[in-house]
């Protein structure tokens, strides 16, 4: 079931008065924002979601803010040659027109120094800041960590 938690429609007026009636529509749907439950004093929490750009212009997720953590960083983590590495996504996350991208396996929102312990079922408020769509409030739901058979975030986009 698709839950559209945030929908932003904004018209961007063209600079020239001659084409003042032209506008481009950006519509962003956010699907299944979730945080994996972590140990009681875990200094960081990993957040995931999928972002669908239904509009006809590319957009970019440039920041995530949350009152529930000291800061939220976007990271890309990789395992190359057996070594785990994590890099900040300095350019943000491009969401091309008409496409869905996942902040999921390999990419995550890292909630640094959470304000309290969050357990399965808790809700963590946050705001996603897009270059064009602007600020969209979302609620990350805390879910059980997937482990064992088929551990992955597959299916989160559905």
Partner 1 sequence: MTGLRRLRVVLWVLVAIAAAGAAFLAFGPRFAPANAGEAIYAKPFSLVNQDGAPVTQADFLGKPSAWFYGFTHCPDVCPTALAEMSAILEALGPDADKLQVVFVSVDPERDTPEIMKDYVEYFDARIDGLTGDLAQVSTMAQDRYIFFEKVPMEDGDYQMEHQASIQLVDAEGRFFGTLAAEESFDVRLAKIRRLIDEG
Report the DSSP beta bridge partners of residue 53. 28
Q: Which stretch binds partner 1 (CB under 8 A): 26-34, 38-46, 49-57, 132-140?
A: 38-46
List the one residue from 42, 54, 89, 101 that touches partner 1 (CB under 8 A): 42
Q: Which stretch binds partner 1 (CB under 8 A): 17-25, 33-41, 56-64, 125-133?
A: 33-41
**8 Å CB contact between 124 and 143:** no
Q: Which stretch binds partner 1 (CB under 8 A): 8-16, 75-83, 92-100, 120-128?
A: 75-83
Can residue 83 be called a binding residue for partner 1 (CB under 8 A)? yes
Residues 85-144 that bind partner 1 (CB under 8 A): 85-86, 88, 108, 110, 112
Q: Is 141 exposed, middle or buried (0-12, 13-18, 19+ CB in 10 A)?
A: middle
Can residue 18 be called a binding residue for partner 1 (CB under 8 A)? no
What is the three-class DSSP state of 48? Answer: strand
Tell which residue, 49, 64, 73, 57, has the closest CA to residue 141: 49
Burial readout 7-31 (b: 16 or more C-beta within 10 A, e: otherwise): ebeeeeeeeeeeeeeeeeebbbbbb
List interacting residues with partner 1 (CB under 8 A). 36, 38-46, 75, 77, 79, 82-86, 88, 108, 110, 112, 145-151
């Amino acid at each position: 079931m698709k839950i559209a938690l945030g929908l932003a429609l904004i018209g961007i007026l063209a600079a020239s008065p001659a084409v003042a009636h032209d506008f481009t529509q950006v519509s962003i749907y956010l699907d299944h924002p979730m945080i994996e439950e972590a140990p009681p004093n875990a200094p960081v929490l990993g957040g995931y979601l999928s972002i669908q750009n239904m509009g006809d212009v590319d957009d970019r997720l440039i920041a995530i803010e949350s009152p529930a953590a000291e800061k939220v960083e976007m990271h890309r983590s990789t395992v190359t040659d057996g070594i785990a590495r994590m890099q900040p996504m300095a350019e943000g996350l491009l969401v091309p027109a008409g496409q869905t991208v996942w902040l999921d396996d390999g990419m995550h929102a890292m909630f640094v120094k959470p304000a309290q312990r969050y357990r399965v079922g808790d809700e963590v408020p946050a705001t996603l800041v897009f270059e064009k769509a602007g600020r969209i409030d979302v609620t990350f739901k805390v879910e059980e960590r997937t482990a064992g058979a088929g551990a992955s975030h597959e299916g989160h986009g559905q």
